[in-house]
Amino acid sequence: MKRIVLLRHGESTWNKENRFTGWTDVDLTEKGIEEAIRAGALMKKEGFAFSKAYTSYLKRAVKTLDNVLDQLDQDWIPVEKNWRLNEKHYGDLQGLNKSETAEKYGDEQVLVWRRSFDVAPHPLGEEDPRNPRFEARYAEVSDHELPRTESLKDTIERILPYWKEVIFPNLQTADELLVVAHGNSLRGIIKHLKQIPDQDIVHLNLPTAVPYVFEFDERFNLIKDYFLGDPDEIKKLMEAVANQGKKK
């Protein structure tokens, strides 16, 4: 049996403030650090031993992974960072409060921006200081690949080549891999693995720092997927994520 664990980062400062974050590089809160530590301890209890880990270029994911590996006593394993695992780019919405945006545009429109498959928010302008073309971390990425906004469809198209060509093939030589990334980048991977229809992906909400385990047979066919933790608590966390984009 082969296993890949997908883990959304712990609570960030903008999660706490209910802001659209996207590629903005915000840090973890104290709660987010605690969530990461708890996730690592839970995976250690369950006996996970990873051969390699993957994460994005954004510190909330990187620091979550650091805390998880520390709890696992697996700080030594190879870690690969790649911009393709970054969160969906929220364009001009980045930094805005989700509830206040829902007050202005309505719950339904904000749900479309947050969760729809093929509708992207308004893009950042070319001279907007938030534009990733100005960031040193993306200096080696061609400008035409750097998003100014993204739909989930765009995010999946960015992520899947890396998933198919780099991460998933490593199951040939490794029994367990860990991917620490973001709500929408992981939703894209999950959509691919579970073949979720475009119209149904809107209903998938990932809580912060809850390990999501995918088990594969020796032919790399998905045979089982499940969250680690108390099902009732995880359900509540998912509902809380779903409610973030609603008017207060």
Q: In sequence order, what are the beta bridge partners of 81? A: 55
Q: Is 9 a catalytic residue?
A: yes
Structural contact between residues 174 and 100, judged by C-beta atoms closer than 8 angstroms: no
For the chain, the residue count is 248
* φ, ψ (nearest 5 deg) of residue 13: -60, -35
In angstroms, the CA 221 to CA 228 distance is 21
Q: Which of 178, 157, 153, 151 is nearest to 40 (CA)?
A: 178
Structural contact between residues 176 and 51, judged by C-beta atoms closer than 8 angstroms: yes
Catalytic residue among 11, 35, 87, 150: 87
Which positions are catalytic?
A: 9, 87
